[in-house]
Structure 1
Amino acid sequence: MTTYFYLPMTTAYKPINCLNLPYPMQSLGILLFLLMSTAACNNNNDSRTKGTLTANPPTVISQLTRMIPEHPLLAWCIVPYDSVERGPAARMKMLSELGFTQYVYDWREQHLATFAEEIQQAREADIQISGVWMWIDQSSDSLGALSTANEELLGIMEEQGLQTQIWLGINHNFFEAEDDAGKIAKAVEMVSYLNQRAKDIGCTLALYNHGDWFGEPDNQLRILQELKNDDIGMIYNFHHAHHQIEEFPALLKRMQPYLWAVNLNGMQQEGPKILPIGSGESEADMIQLLLNSDYSGPIGILGHIEDEDVKVVLQRNLEGLSSMLKTMKIKEAGS
């Protein structure tokens, strides 16, 4: 058998017959030929393997952006809910790899030590912090006297110049021993106070449906109507709304004037609470209704699983949404 290999000759390649070379060079030529053949086979195998893998994450987000251009995508529930326990820099790297350009910061007390760094890392990565979570609990928060953690949160936001939305949830214990009218009065007072605190640092306030009395959207609407304040919004979460599936069409119409963000989840009656998008029974109808409404705000993609890598969870939800949208008839923007 005559074996050839190729050597560079200026801008072209010239075939060399190995058998015309001195004996030591013949062996070298054959060895090079075998090594190059093996590498070529491996590259072909890699190409075939890659063809069976999921599309690269940024491709999924770019597809979604083309499908629903008026609804920017943001990541939500990604800080405490991450088995990898990423720090700020690693989190920005993860979000960039997935193609996200914005997220909302949820936290536990231990995360406040790196919150200033988080803000700086997000700016360096050109990723927007579109909101920050705040939780009010009767055991540590009262009118005019927030918990040490909440005061630290607001202090860091002011020091770092982070002007964004504050997503507000209030524990049911804040309204214990109050009748319905008392709950409304106490909520109005607290929301008014927190709205002023938000304004003082250049932020805005939105009410978050986290379950219980304060988390019911109709109660939030009553609070907003009592306040007569157009600069407070609402955040609606599918994962806190399994009991509202049948009511969603009418509820959406009532919420829409105040609705700033909607976070998606798989949906079915009585849960479970967290389901991947596309694995439930009802989210397709709810999402189609949302996209064909006059709502024009961001769509939140959920992490919210403590014992799994949040990057994997986000990617799974992105793919679920992408697959679902391909089967939908969505109203074109402006129509």
Structure 2
Amino acid sequence: MLLAAVPSARGEPAAKSVYARDNLVAWCIVPFDAKNRTPGQRADMLKQLGFKRYAYDWRAQHLPTFEAEIGELKSRGIALQAVWFPTSLNADAKTILDILKRNDVKTELWITLADRLPASTDQLAKVTAAAEGVRPIALAAAAIGCKVGLYNHGGWGGEPENQLAVVQALKLPNVGIVYNLHHGHDHLDRLKDVLPKLKPHLLAINLNGMVAGGDKKGKKIVVLGQGDADLSILKLIADTGYTGPIGILGHTQDDAEQRLKDNLSGLDWLLPQLEGKPAGEKPVPVTK
């Protein structure tokens, strides 16, 4: 059931809702922003929207200002929840690790789980190869107090069962899973069975407005509250007992602030319905 921030029968505060504002993480708002904000402008925007957590995605042109981004976040009390990370310890990966170490930032490195044997049908071999590809990154992350999140991004490595198999093969305490609904359209029919299995390893769940088959209908990224499966998915997440971070998605070329506002408005419209209250007026998104 939804964990509500109300007093318990014993007069003690109940557990806070997993959808509480300070549990939300802004995600995909750096290269996905029509205004191309600077680190300081982005941090100001996040603070004004009430975000306490932020996951940093980037392109090559953004890495030179990553250290400045960390400083801007710290000065506004916003935690760097995660950093998008390469699938090998290449030059960009080493730059990120060095900056995190130098600034004593303990965070998560979100990486796409690669299929390193795409021509093979041997599942054990594929899992073993994928795990060994992740291991050096996980060890480098552990050395500076960071975690690694396997990020579903389509293909073999995007299947939750394969993510889980790799985590179990690695047996490393700092490796978990990041589940993205916008890359999970093919999982909708089995999500009620998948999420409880993933739950012990979940570092984050990133929300999206979900339409059945949306990725094949030009509706892969949809404003939260505008999808036909959104309410049932939010209920399912709460019912699993998951209490970790919840991602709020940008991921369009709109003004990132407007996109985040649209998703927050959609979440605010859905939450009362989880408690059985009537739906209010459905918000009309500014972004599409």
For normalisation by structure 1, the TM-score amounts to 0.73
Q: Does 1:83 align with 2:29?
A: no
Give secondary structure in 2 for the equivalent of 1:175: coil
Q: Which residue number in structure 2 is paired with residue 293 of structure 1?
A: 240
- Whole-Å Cα distance in 2 between the matches of residues 289 and 70 of structure 1? 19
2:206 maps to 263
1:151 to 94, 99, 120: 94
Give the superposition deviation at 1:329: 2.4
Q: What is aligned with 1:192?
A: 135
Q: Find out whether 1:319 has 2:265 as its counterpart.
A: yes
Once the two structures are TM-superposed, the CA of residue 69 in structure 1 deviates from its matched residue by 4.0
Structure 1: stretches of 5+ with no match in the other structure: 1-64, 331-335
Query: Which aligned pairs between 1:1-335 and structure 2 lie closer than 5 A?
Result: 68-69=19-20, 72-136=23-87, 141=88, 146-172=89-115, 174-179=116-121, 180-271=123-214, 272-306=219-253, 308-329=254-275
| Deviation larger for 154-163 or 69-78 | 69-78
Helix, strand or coil: the match of 1:327?
Answer: helix
| d(CA) in 1 for partners of 2:186, 2:74 | 38
In 1, Cα distance between equivalents of 2:249 and 2:268: 14
Residues 138-194 of structure 1: CA deviation (Å, up to 9, x unaligned): xxx4xxxx222122121211122221111111445x433343333211111122221
User: Residue type matched to 1:313 in 2?
Assistant: R
- Provide Cα deviations, 1:41-96, integer angstroms capped at 9, x if missing partner: xxxxxxxxxxxxxxxxxxxxxxxx87844971110111110010001000011001
Between the aligned partners of 1:188 and 1:159, the Cα distance in structure 2 is: 28
Do 2:114 and 2:130's aligned partners in 1 also have CA atoms closer than 8 Å? no
CA gap 1:191/1:171 in 2 versus in 1, 3 angstroms = closer
Q: CA deviation at 1:286?
A: 0.9
Which sections of structure 2, spanning at least 5 residues, go unmatched? 1-15, 277-288
TM-score, with structure 2 as normaliser:
0.84
* Distance in 1 of aligned mates of 2:19 and 2:220: 26
2: CA distance between counterparts of 1:231 and 1:216?
20
Residue 197 of structure 1 and its aligned partner are, at CA, apart by: 0.7
Tell whether the 8 Å contact from 1:187 to 1:223 is kept in structure 2 after alignment: yes
- Counterpart secondary structure, 1:93: helix
Larger Rg: 1
State the alpha-carbon separation in 1 of the partners of residues 113 and 240 from structure 2: 29
**Superposed displacement of residue 294, structure 1:** 1.3
Q: Partner letter of residue 272 of structure 2?
A: K
Distance 2:64 2:22 in 1: 32
Measured on the aligned residues, the alpha-carbon RMSD in Å equals 1.8
Q: For 1:115 and 1:91, locate their aligned partners in 2 and report how far apart those are by CA, in whole Å.
A: 12
1:207-263: per-residue Cα shift (whole Å, max 9, x none)?
111111111110011111222334321111110011111100000111111112111
On the 8 A contact 2:30/2:58 being kept in 1, the answer is: yes
Contact persistence 1:106–1:132 (CA under 8 A): yes
CA distance in 1, matches of 2:81, 2:69: 13
Using the alignment, how far apart are the partners of 1:178 and 1:257 within structure 2? Answer: 29
Compared with structure 1, are the counterparts of its residues 70 and 176 closer, same or farther at alpha carbon in structure 2 (3 Å cutoff)? same
Q: 2: CA distance between counterparts of 1:84 and 1:73?
A: 22
Q: Is the 8 A contact 1:71 1:299 kept in 2?
A: no
In 1, are the aligned partners of 2:142 and 2:174 still within 8 Å (CA)? no
Paired residue type of 2:177 = M
Give the secondary structure class of the aligned counterpart of 1:246.
Answer: helix
Higher alpha-carbon deviation: 67-76 or 215-224: 67-76
